[in-house]
Structure 1
Amino acid sequence: MPREAEVDIIDAGRAISIALPNGVKQRFHAIWLRDNAWDETTRAAGNGQRLITLSNIPVDTRVSAVKSEAGSLHLTFQPENRTIAFDLNWLADHGYDNDRSRVSGWTSPDIETWDASLGAAIPLADFGAISRDQAALGNWLHGVRRYGFGKLVGGPVENAALFEVASLFGYIRETNYGRHFEVRTEVNPSNLAYTGLGLQAHTDNPYRDPVPTLQILYCLENSAEGGENMVVDGFRAAERLRAENPHGFDLLTRYCARFEYAGSAGICLRSRRPMIELAPDGELVGIRFNNRSTAAIIDVPYEDMADYYAAYRRLGEIIDDTSMEVTFKLAPGESFIVDNTRVLHARKGYSGAGSRWLQGCYADKDGLLSTLSAIELQNRKAA
């Protein structure tokens, strides 16, 4: 990052233009700069939270003078007649004067979509190592953020060990299923409820709003033949659909599907969200796909319903394509975590003698991202 910048006051002081020596140019509005000041009267020293509201800043705020020094920029604001220093690195990291033309369905630079070719790039770590070493934990969490899932080995084979996984980065999200749920089935069971049938790739709890954003599955027993876990990148599936059928992609983002669960006494959960969810600027931010929980779709106009269903069918076919899936079998003491807003998970059927016992729980992505960001910030300070 250059240590000095050339600065001009423009638009009668309502903005400035910064021409950095490396050729990067940015414009900043005076009101934006004043609102984002880091001086002691604007921000609390301990936590960085604002001490003022926007209404405390004069509506006619403008920059009357600038002074560039090595690594910093000093701006004088009127009518307050206050001079505040800004770090040039911070300004470079927070510039907003950029080309915003992006294709609908773009993804964050922190995200890498994948298919079955992911192979050895699966974020994999030893439970004991990341429990003891913050750097190892940060590396694993970085992989989970990038690929939307991760696997752990070497964990304790004991009841409720999955809570120890969640405590590495956040907190359990309790639902009507409790703090955790049992995925315990037996081959040739006495009750058909304990079945070994396979499950299509899906996201969990699409009938909640908001959905649990993380799911952890932890293996305690797995002596049955088959029963491999599968994960599919819903974002890559959405990208494939967009490439094949832009109109169908648009329909699945523009209209809401409906999801419902009323399988327990006193419980009736419903949500109304698109199967492919975009932010207002077109960023791909979520997938909800679960055939078992999809209610009647009634928010699509008659003239679009046939095309909507064709796109819905094709999305399911892409998700079911074996070239999209990463498959692995958990051993006792192993677990995996998925971003439930992005990565679909499934289970192959199993048969023969033996048993299969997993425990599952939900957590939220904000805790994981917060822990990762704190580790990354500490690493930057130490560098």
Structure 2
Amino acid sequence: MIQLQEQWGAEHRMKDFDYNTLMSNERVLLDWLLTMERKGSAMVRNTPQKDIAGPELIEHIAYVKQSHYGPHSPVINRPNTNNVAFTNAKLGMHNDLPQYEHMPGIIFIQCVAQHPGAGGESIVTDGLFAAEELRRNHPEDFKILSSTDMYFWDKGHANYSWEMPEFYKIAKFPVIRINGDNEVVQIAVNNAIRDSHMDLPPQEVKKYYAAYKRFHNILYANAMTFKMEQGEYCYRGPLAGRDNSSCNTALHCTILSHAMLYTPRGAD
């Protein structure tokens, strides 16, 4: 019997799996899939040092979901980028690609090269856990964030031949998305592409930002921090961030069809 999703806080530690074993042992592969469904995160070690290692693993279980970045995206310092992810600046807690109407449910991050010095740590947190904490302790804030649309947008151009030459994506929906049964089904947080425009009267804006700040406080208070090593592959359904760093860490990001994740926890 498949267990329901299990929410977690700062004490959480991701379960480890071996890349080659996942590719050859179906029992371990099933354990990995169930772990991702229950916990929303897992670590894969001993990943081959090649760009297509992620897509090959994904195609072993489903298919790669294309975005305007193509089938995978090198997360490195890029000249003239419009995306803070492609710099060595700190990344706040966020989900990837909320400017899409159908956000990714599963993101795979492969560490191709890691800076040996300070900086570059990853921060992950369970958005579903934070949302339920907010609902339990601050119901009015939960109501605001689950009923008020936020705009997300991203505009840019390609850096690689497989990317869309130009793109301009816009979407809007609440930070906390609930279904007809009042269950939290998705989190959408990304200040880097959040629009300043809001469909709110001025007197309601302060209330909204107070609720949004409280939600952020809960996200960070229950986050776990770790530093990926070369050859590691981190599956992310939770929200995540990156520590401020002057290092040159190289990552590859691949998206699995979101249909594989029944309740996206929100996503680096």
Q: Which residue of 1 aligns with 2:239?
A: 344
Contact 1:224 1:351 in 2 (8 A): no
Shift of 1:349: 2.4
- 2:52 is paired with a residue whose SS is coil
- 1:257 is paired with a residue whose SS is strand
Deviates more, 1:216-225 or 1:197-206: 216-225
Does residue 286 of structure 1 match 2:178?
no
**What is the distance in 2 between the residues matched to 1:306 and 1:229?**
31
Contact 1:171 1:364 in 2 (8 A): yes
Does residue 327 of structure 1 match 2:246?
no
Q: Which residue of 2 aligns with 1:356?
A: 249
- The two structures have a TM-score, normalised by structure 2, of 0.85
Does residue 228 of structure 1 match 2:133?
no
**What is the distance in 2 between the residues matched to 1:150 and 1:313?**
28
Q: Which residue of 1 aligns with 2:5?
A: 111
**What is the distance in 1 between the residues matched to 2:194 and 2:115?**
33
Deviations, residues 89-139 of structure 1 (Å, cap 9, x unaligned): xxxx9xxxxxxxxxxxxxx961111111113xx232111111111111111
Q: Which residue of 1 aligns with 2:43?
A: 151
Does residue 212 of structure 1 match 2:122?
no
Q: Which residue of 1 aligns with 2:27?
A: 135
Q: Which residue of 1 aligns with 2:266?
A: none
Structure 2 gaps, min length 5: 158-164, 263-268
Contact 2:76 2:87 in 1 (8 A): no
Note the 1:1-383 alignment, pairs <5 A: 110-119=4-13, 122-185=14-77, 195-225=87-117, 226-264=119-157, 266-321=166-221, 324-339=222-237, 343-351=238-246, 355-367=248-260
- 2:102 is paired with a residue whose SS is coil
**What is the distance in 2 between the residues matched to 1:297 and 1:113?**
32
**What is the distance in 2 between the residues matched to 1:227 and 1:268?**
29
CA 1:211–1:346: 2 relative to 1, 3 Å: same
CA 1:224–1:192: 2 relative to 1, 3 Å: farther
Contact 1:256 1:300 in 2 (8 A): no
Which letter maps to 1:358?
Answer: L
Shift of 1:254: 1.1
Aligned residues: 250
**What is the distance in 2 between the residues matched to 1:141 and 1:368?**
10
- Provide the identity percentage: 27
**What is the distance in 2 between the residues matched to 1:334 and 1:258?**
34
- 1:362 is paired with a residue whose SS is strand
Shift of 1:165: 2.2
**What is the distance in 1 between the residues matched to 2:3 and 2:146?**
21
**What is the distance in 2 between the residues matched to 1:344 and 1:326?**
11
Q: Which has the higher contact order (CA 8 A, sep 6+)?
A: 2
CA 1:368–1:204: 2 relative to 1, 3 Å: closer
Q: Which residue of 1 aligns with 2:265?
A: none
Contact 1:169 1:367 in 2 (8 A): no
**What is the distance in 2 between the residues matched to 1:278 and 1:367?**
19
Structure 1 gaps, min length 5: 1-92, 94-107, 370-383
Which structure has the bigger radius of gyration?
Answer: 1
- 2:97 is paired with a residue whose SS is coil
Shift of 1:163: 1.1
Shift of 1:184: 2.1
- 2:156 is paired with a residue whose SS is coil
Deviations, residues 48-76 of structure 1 (Å, cap 9, x unaligned): xxxxxxxxxxxxxxxxxxxxxxxxxxxxx
**What is the distance in 1 between the residues matched to 2:246 and 2:209?**
34
**What is the distance in 2 between the residues matched to 1:224 and 1:319?**
28
